[in-house]
Structure 1
């Protein structure tokens, strides 16, 4: 590997989700993941959400003037060994099911949309 090909300290540090209603998005993603705002004061344009113990990758929310467009190019996958429970819980938090997804025969995932219309999947997958 050449020095120019070496990724060095480059790494994935956060996932950024574009939203139109910052307060609604903060409330949804904090409740969905058990995260909290990193800063005490909410910036109306950008908020980073962190796991209380710092054990998980942070999620950042960025205010957008435009709604989510399809087809999406990137989405978030959430892994759990309790897929049915979490899908129902997330729908109760105002996520919506994507019923017209071209699911394979025996999918291990369920596609949802957050309140801003951003797609994410809940994957049936135990902790490793």
Structure 2
């Protein structure tokens, strides 16, 4: 891999924020999904739960307490890559994810769209 452009400097992806009505349920789901540690509640009113990769390789995930989850598709979502998509889809369904059955898939696709227990969409993608 090459060098990053100088204009980028030290800018990096550090945190992914997931909205939740039930912060504990969402934190448990994402911690188990990713194998992350639920570190602590943070913020002035403890409105966030911070999840960290114990290996230090992935970005942190911040579960953010919210009063409403948008029903329209979010303009940003999480993609999870794996060499065994179907096994992980089944595991995530057991953890509380649901299939986004209303998704309009193209004829050929490597991804499955799921929703976390709070309704946030994410994809599990077959990546060989």
Output the TM-score relative to the length of structure 2: 0.87
Following superposition, the deviation at residue 21 of structure 1 comes to 0.5
Q: Which has the higher strand share?
A: 2
Structure 1 unaligned blocks of 5 or more: none
Partner residue, 2:10: 9
Partner of 2:110: 108
Cα shift readout 1:77-112 (whole Å, capped 9, x = no counterpart): 000001000000000111000111110112100000
Deviating beyond 2 angstroms after TM superposition, the runs of 4 or more aligned structure 1 residues are none
Structure 1 residue 10 displacement after superposition: 1.5
**Residues 12-39 of structure 1: per-residue CA shift (max 9 Å, x gap):** 1111111110110111011111111223
Query: In the alignment, which residue of structure 2 is the partner of 1:32?
Result: 33
CA RMSD of aligned residues (A): 1.4
User: How many matched pairs?
Assistant: 120
- Structure 1 match to 2:75: 73
CA distance in 2, matches of 1:65, 1:100: 24
